[in-house]
């Protein structure tokens, strides 16, 4: 094998590789011999098929197989000899080959940059430690008590706050529409879970009464076929229930499976602390990455940047199309990005893609140099957590990852990143500062408002989920289409337990 370096440009390398025809022929002969030991052909005993016959029957396919393996093996050897670490799969171009002649091909590859050994001892960063006031615990318990209220049938017209058990059938211009019917549906009047006007028209209705509810679906309703249209619902009141207050006492603790009220309060506090600490952790991580991005400016493989940019651009295009559809009735509602040319937006997104790639390579190198790995136990825990995100479908999730082991990389990557971040924080100069939890949230919202003005860096708002997770969760709402208002998540959780 002869290897000649033909071009060096930054991280790009090109080589001309020549493989002697005698080596290729020897490999073809060896492979045909292997086939001849087991192949069965009419008129020949196993292992006795003449080589000319084997060449005639299998020569072309074996040649293709040998060429593919030869190129793969020799290209890997070429990079290994020169201690090159490819950033992506090398690009191979066959320059010339005919049977009986040498094989010549071009090997083009981008290599990973030499980052060296970064120093983090002089990195200064502040870590916020959120303090949880007792008022937050009390408020979470109040919400939990609201969710755990019990209801009892009453013999009177329905009032706001009551639970009505209803059958309904929705129609537009006299024609029923998909998802517009339900039986024995429990609806809390005044909850705002249905589209505006629906619940108000059931106030005063009595058990056994039938009413026609007339409403207009909001223009921004999630179902395009219903958005902005007038509809009628034939509603039958099957029962009216009054919700009884749930005291914050031992009975509440028992209702959610806790030993006593003190244990419930501790569980609520622990959950809220985890949520706020998670927000503080994300803030710390984000600020550390900003510092690292400012300190490191090495070249990055443009092929990796291209892939990252393509992924960002697809998300941008999809979001742009979604906003266009949502604002079709208000064309003046243009986004900041629409005020810029595609070239300007692409330049901004490409800078973001380059930053992501550079930070990814930096963290990867730190992990490699310091033997930071993801253990099987850590991966198993992440897999279990991922499965729990899909209640009722845990087995399918586990089966998916078992059948597609390459997908485990999506679980391994964030674990590895967090471990590297922790490693850097142990070396850096970290100053702890206590902060009221509400100030932490205010600071996050202020930061998110600033991020809104930056392309491709909008982070989903994260608020403590303790209200949803405190000790026990309330039953999920019925997910039928029904006349519910357009998709809108309530920060404090939805649904009322019965």
pTM of the model: 0.71
For residue 444, the model assigns a pLDDT of 82
Domain boundaries, the chain: 2-110, 124-131+256-464, 150-244+475-498
For residue 56, the model assigns a pLDDT of 85
User: Mean pLDDT across the stretch 28-40?
Assistant: 87
Query: Looking at domain 124-131+256-464, which CATH architecture does it have?
Result: Orthogonal Bundle (1.10)
For residue 453, the model assigns a pLDDT of 55
Give 112-116's long-range contacts (Cβ < 8 A, gap of 24+). 112/11, 112/85, 112/86, 112/87, 112/301, 112/361, 113/11, 113/298, 113/299, 113/300, 113/301, 113/361, 114/298, 115/296, 115/298, 115/361, 115/362, 115/365
pLDDT digits (tens, 9 = 90+) for 352-364: 999 999 999 999 9
**Average model confidence (pLDDT) across the chain:** 85
Which residue did the predictor score with more confidence, 155 or 335?
155
Query: Looking at domain 2-110, which CATH architecture does it have?
Result: 2-Layer Sandwich (3.30)
pLDDT digits (tens, 9 = 90+) for 403-441: 998 899 999 999 999 999 999 999 999 999 999 998 998
Q: What percent of the chain has pLDDT over 90?
A: 63
Model confidence at 338, pLDDT cuts 50, 70, 90, reads: low
Please tell me the CATH code under which domain 150-244+475-498 is placed: 3.10.50.40
Model confidence at 332, pLDDT cuts 50, 70, 90, reads: low
For residue 37, the model assigns a pLDDT of 85
Q: Number of C-alpha atoms within 13 angstroms, CB side, residue 236?
A: 8
Q: Number of C-alpha atoms within 13 angstroms, CB side, residue 314?
A: 5
For residue 456, the model assigns a pLDDT of 43
């Amino acid at each position: 094998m002869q290897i000649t370096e033909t071009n060096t440009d930054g991280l790009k390398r090109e080589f001309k590789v020549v493989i002697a025809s005698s080596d290729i022929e020897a490999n073809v002969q060896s492979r045909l011999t292997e086939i001849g030991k087991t192949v069965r052909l009419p008129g020949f005993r196993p292992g006795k098929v003449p080589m000319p016959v084997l060449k005639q029957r299998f020569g072309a396919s074996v040649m293709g197989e040998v060429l593919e393996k030869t190129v793969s093996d020799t290209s890997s050897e070429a990079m290994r000899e020169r201690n090159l670490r490819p950033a992506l799969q090398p690009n191979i171009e066959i320059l010339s080959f005919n049977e009986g002649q040498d094989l010549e091909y071009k090997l083009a590859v981008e290599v990973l940059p030499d980052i060296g050994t970064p120093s983090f001892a002089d990195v200064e960063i502040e870590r916020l430690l959120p303090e949880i006031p007792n008022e937050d615990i009390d408020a979470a318990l109040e919400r939990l008590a609201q969710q755990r209220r019990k209801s009892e049938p009453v013999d009177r017209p329905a009032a706001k706050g009551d639970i009505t058990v209803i059958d309904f059938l929705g129609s537009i211009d006299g024609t029923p529409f998909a998802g517009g019917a339900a039986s024995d549906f429990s609806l809390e009047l005044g909850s705002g879970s249905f589209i505006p006007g629906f619940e108000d028209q059931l106030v005063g209705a009595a058990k056994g009464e039938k009413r026609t509810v007339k409403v207009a679906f909001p223009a921004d309703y999630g179902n395009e076929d219903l958005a902005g249209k007038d509809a009628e619902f034939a509603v039958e009141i099957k029962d009216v229930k009054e919700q009884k207050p749930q005291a914050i006492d031992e009975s509440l603790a028992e209702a959610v499976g806790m030993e006593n009220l003190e244990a419930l309060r501790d569980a609520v506090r622990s959950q809220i602390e985890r949520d706020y600490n998670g927000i503080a952790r994300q803030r710390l991580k984000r600020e550390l990455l900003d510092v690292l991005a400012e300190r490191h400016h090495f070249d990055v493989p443009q092929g990796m940047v291209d892939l990252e940019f393509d992924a960002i651009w697809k998300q941008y295009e999809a979001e742009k199309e979604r906003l266009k559809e949502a604002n079709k009735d208000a064309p003046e509602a243009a986004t900041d990005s629409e005020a810029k040319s595609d070239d300007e937006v692409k330049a901004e997104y490409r800078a973001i893609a380059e930053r992501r790639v550079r930070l990814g390579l930096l963290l990867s190198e730190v992990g490699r140099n310091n033997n930071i790995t993801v253990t099987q136990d850590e991966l198993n825990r992440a897999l279990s957590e991922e499965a729990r995100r899909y209640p009722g479908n845990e087995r399918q999730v586990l089966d998916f990852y078992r059948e597609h082991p390459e997908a485990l990389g999506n679980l391994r990557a964030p674990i590895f990143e967090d471990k590297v971040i922790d490693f850097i924080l142990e070396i850096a100069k970290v100053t702890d500062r206590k902060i009221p939890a509400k100030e932490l949230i205010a600071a996050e919202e202020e930061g998110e408002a600033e991020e809104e003005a930056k392309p491709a860096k909008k982070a989903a708002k994260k608020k403590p989920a303790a209200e949803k997770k405190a000790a026990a969760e309330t039953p999920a709402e019925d997910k039928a289409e029904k006349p519910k208002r357009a998709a809108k998540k309530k920060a404090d959780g939805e649904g009322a337990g019965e």
